[in-house]
Amino acid sequence: MNKQISNFSRRKFVGFGLASALAPSVVRGKSPNGKLNMGIIGSGGRGGANLNGVKAENIHTLCDINRKTLEAVQKRFKGAKTTTDWREVVSNPDIDAVVISTADHHHAPAAIAAMRAGKHVYCEKSSTTSFESAKKILNTVKQNNVRIMEGFMFKFHSQHQKVRELITNDKIQNTYSLIYF
């Protein structure tokens, strides 16, 4: 395996991926320093890790339903506004892009609302729980000329690459599905 890829951390990938996904359509953020104004929906747990991937940008608004989480995270981003309602984040015209790290069933509604408001989205996996909402997400991307990136980086882990190699080289045959936790 390419050593450069194996040492590429999730944090670097999230930051690089979001920047790459947004670069074609966002030349400069709305903030005076040229950074993207980021809205973070889901600031604790997985959201805290994803927040590290975009901390070089301007963290405009932090959102979480847990007020203690908001207070703790705001200590790191003192200038950030806080809210417990994700709709305030997606409706704010000052925000360029959002990171969504909530429970799975909230991903699609928040992503679709953000993209309809012209925001780019990094969404933790899975971005949708149904084929219908996946089609809605795709249509929303096309209609609003925005970008979405789903946080599915496991395929870059060495153990997953090895399994793919074994299947591709017929070392494991008759594979119908793989379920892992």
The string over 68-81, giving b where at least 16 C-beta atoms fall within 10 Å of a residue's C-beta and e elsewhere, is ebbeebbeebeebb
Q: How confident is the model at residue 22, as a pLDDT? A: 52
Q: What's the confidence (pLDDT) of residue 180?
A: 54
Which top CATH class is 3-153? alpha beta
42 φ/ψ sector (left φ>0, alpha ψ -120 to 50, else beta): left
State pLDDT tens for residues 102-142: 876 787 899 999 999 999 998 877 666 678 888 888 889 99
Which stretches does DSSP call E strand in the chain? Answer: 37-41, 58-63, 81-83, 97-100, 120-124, 148-151
- pLDDT confidence bin for 3, thresholds 50/70/90: very low
Q: What is the pLDDT of residue 11?
A: 47
* pLDDT of res. 48: 81
Query: Residue 6: what pLDDT?
Result: 40
pLDDT digits (tens, 9 = 90+) for 84-97: 999 999 999 999 99
Q: What is the pLDDT of residue 106?
A: 80
Residue that wins the pLDDT comparison between 147 and 89 = 89
- pLDDT interval class at 13 (50, 70, 90): very low
pLDDT of 31 reads 55
pLDDT for 37-84, tens place per residue?
A: 999 999 888 888 888 888 889 999 999 999 999 999 999 999 999 999
pLDDT for res 153 = 62
DSSP codes, 33-52 = TS--EEEEE--STHHHHHHH
On whether the CB atoms of residues 95 and 40 are closer than 8 A, the answer is no
